[in-house]
Structure 1
Amino acid sequence: MSSYGKFAYVYDELMADMPYPDWLAFAETAWGKYGKPRTVAELGCGTGSLTLPLAAAGYHMTGIDLSSDMLAVARQKLEQQPHGLRLSREGSILWIRQNMTEWELPEPVDSVISFCDCLNYVLEEQEVQKVFACTYAGLKPGGTFLFDVHHPNTLIRYEEEQPFVQDEPNVSYIWTCELDVPRREIEHHLSIFAREEGRPDLYRRFEETHIQRAYDPEWMKQELLKAGFSEVRLYADFEWMEADDSAERLFYVAVK
């Protein structure tokens, strides 16, 4: 299984086409509906592709991730940003290495986000429940928890449509999948070829295995309510419309 070591340093190039602006827009729209936060914690912040622009927009961000390599890349990206962007509108960033199943901060925050299907990497129901409990505890009254996960049917589509191949000048991959249908759990196998810096004719190969699990949407909603959230809304695919089985991504908005 991946520890995001070598992978962290090619992650941004591999994920260049991810819809980060759409996640940012979803968060801003949700905050427009439920109250604009000042302090925001991001669970599974990775290399900071959402944390950084939110801090630039003026939010006091705490980026939480289990991978020290991902956080190292995030810190490097922050240092490489123009000075004016880092301090725009008094925003700030604190990076913390923690497991999202047991995260905690000294003070509660106004909102918690976790996008890019991070919760699909939590592989047991009891661990999902822990995430919900920690998040409820870490929010101020009236605070919001915004996250997205793959619909269970999306994992089926992954297996049906594999293999996936990306061929770029600096990094390429071959990606295959194996689906455990009863558990709604998928194992992603990636062979990644990354060009050595300063050696345009030399690529290094390394293997990655990532496991994700999808959960019944209604079960997740009920578990959020059991954790104490007073209101839980479910939407589909970055749109503010009701989710059904045709959705690829499920978006949850939970209010404390």
Structure 2
Amino acid sequence: MPLLPLHQAHDYRALMARWRSLAGRLKVKLHTLTVLQSEIQNVKVHWLETGSGDEPVIYLSSGIHGDEAAAAWGLLIWAEENEARLRSQRFLIFPCLNPFGLMLNTRADHRGLDINRRFHVEDDDICGPWRRLMRGRAIRLGFCLHEDYDGQGCYVYELSHFREPVSQNIMAGLRSLPPDPRKSIDGSRAQLGVIRRKRVPNLPGLPEAIVLHQLGCKLTLTFETPSEFSFDDRIRAQVEFMNAVLSAVDIPE
């Protein structure tokens, strides 16, 4: 049986209906980050926080690019399969940061902008409220979930405060989809699907992962599945990667 009917891949209402059900089971509130307006409709962008205590959060986000649907559904499936973990640990989750993009199957948002180059913009419709919410928060580990239509397998950008990389064994152990075999991905040196950034790249704006790094996140992983591969396999690879990292990587609080 497929994990999800393919016709629902870009159904934001269906996605958020399942997040609402999950939030209810977890007894946490599904908060509104902002309300986006278009000529046709208004749409809410949501976030939720699980667990309790004062320890730094584990950050999870998806749906920045609307044509990368398996990332958004992979995050949901992971959460539905990890309710006990969500209850026992602190997670800060953004289920879909670009709902109009998801509905329209586009990389850009409702304004035609790539929000993953706008996380430095204080008055941006989406990134501005995100920055205000994140201000002062301690972040232990960050997952930014994406897809790549040029991908030949899975790969990950690793941005960390640690001397040694942590992703090689995790990527080598993936079963749902293989690591991307390319030695150069988007102009960056890659080894078995791992790109380890040692400096902030020269981009026209700041992506989510880099701003998380600037905010003190000790390890930020931008995981990419190949969007031309099987939809179910891509969802399962997203779930498998998150489970593998959370089981294998010990990030001090």
Pairwise TM-score range, normalised by the shorter structure: under 0.3
User: Between Structure 1 and Structure 2, which shows a larger proportion of strand residues?
Assistant: 1
Give the TM-score taking structure 1 as reference length: 0.27
Q: Which structure is higher in RCO with an 8 Å CA cutoff and minimum separation 6?
A: 2
TM-score by length of 2: 0.27
Higher Cα Rg: structure 1 or 2? Answer: 1
